[in-house]
Amino acid sequence: MHITKFFPKDLFADHTVFVTGGGSGINFGVAKNFAALGAKVGMCGRSADKLERASAELGEMGAQVFAQTADVRDYGALESVLQATESKLGAIGTLVCAAAGNFICPAEQLSPNGFKSVVDIDLLGSFNACRAAFSQLQKTRGSIVFISAGMSIIPYFAQAHVGAAKAGIDNMMRNLALEWGRFGIRSNSIVPGPIEGTEGMRRLAPGDLGKKLKKSIPLGRYGTTDEIGQAAVFLASPLASYITGTVLVVDGGQTLPGS
Ligand code: HXC
Ligand code: NAP
């Protein structure tokens, strides 16, 4: 993988990363980049099939993997996966809060439960993961990486639910940086731009909409799951040891005013 040309292959030897929603898309790309540098990988998601496929691929890369189904909205289920991860792989050094849900729906048509579902998965689910992993992160003086979205920075049509959830995540990220710095725990967010081949882009920019969107991006292309994985690796690495409370925008310039 590209990342092994720039970072030592044993950077994360004896390091456990846990990725919520790690079985697909961007989040699986994050898991693979950590695995390529020697990390042990824990994951959860709702679908056992996705987790099995992802675990098999990570196993082929030589990674030690533990994956179990859990809905991030269910604190008890998440807590039990995180505890099992510690006993199988060792205490978590990097927590990636990345599980999310999205659909296009104008606010005047969105039901309260539709709004709540997305906020519960993205925002409450991220808090649940941080809270349940706290004691492990305290032991490792580890770090948290949140996967946010451009909707946190600028409003998008028909995305009121996602904007609220992701802006909430970025503010919670800063609160945790402030509160947990005293435990040596760092907390940062990544805002991915449109990433090729992902469920998010299939839902938000199908067909011709995708072509138009590409033209509006200053770098003129979609990003890749590896480009988000590389940013996550950087934020979790010793190179970022004094970085906490930041939002790292990895979007080809998409959210710049005027783009
Ligand atoms: C309007 C919708 C809807 C839609 C669901 N709802 N889909 N409303 N338009 N397309 C409403 C339902 O009617 C219901 O409200 C409520 O949401 C909950 O629906 P459920 O089906 O019970 O939800 P649940 O099973 O919890 O599934 C969550 C989900 C689903 C978010 C709705 O789409 C999902 O599981 N998504 C996960 C995968 C995903 O979205 N990946 C993309 C991530 S991309 P009522 O009132 O009827 O009860 C991303 C940002 C990308 O996050 C940014 C790109 C730039
Ligand atoms: P994706 O493949 O659908 O990833 C979402 C993952 O979260 C899936 O593996 C899903 O698995 C899991 N998940 C969803 N609801 C869950 C729940 N309640 N509990 C546990 N796991 C749950 O979509 P993606 O596009 O790659 O998105 C990944 C992340 O990047 C998300 O945080 C998204 O907001 C962010 N993002 C994406 C883009 C983009 O261009 N795609 C841009 C900006 C930000 P199950 O369905 O099996 O649970």
Residue nearest to atom 17 of ligand 2 (CA): 71
User: Which of 40, 166, 187, 237 is an active site residue?
Assistant: 166
Q: What is the mean pLDDT of residues 234-238?
A: 98
Ligand 1 pocket test target in 28, 69, 72, 117 with most atoms within 8 Å of CB: 117
Q: How far apart are the first and last CA of the chain?
A: 31
Q: How far apart are CA 208 and CA 14, in angstroms?
A: 45
Helix residue ranges per DSSP H, 216-249: 225-236
Active site (annotated) includes residue 148: yes
Using one digit for the tens of pLDDT, what is the confidence trace for 64-121? 999 999 999 999 999 999 999 999 999 999 999 999 999 999 999 999 999 999 999 9
User: Which of 24, 143, 148, 189 is an active site residue?
Assistant: 148
| Percent of the chain residues past pLDDT 90, beyond the cut | 96
Ligand 1 centre distance from Cα of residue 197 (Å): 19
* Cα torsion angle, 36, 42, 45, 47, sign: positive
Other C-beta atoms closer than 10 Å to the C-beta of 107 total: 12
Ligand 2 centre distance from Cα of residue 28 (Å): 10
Using one digit for the tens of pLDDT, what is the confidence trace for 173-182? 999 999 999 9
Banded model confidence at residue 259, pLDDT cuts 50, 70, 90: low
Ligand 2 centre distance from Cα of residue 259 (Å): 25
Q: How far apart are CA 173 and CA 139, in angstroms?
A: 19
* Cα torsion angle, 111, 117, 122, 127, sign: positive
Using one digit for the tens of pLDDT, what is the confidence trace for 20-67? 999 999 999 999 999 999 999 999 999 999 999 999 999 999 999 999
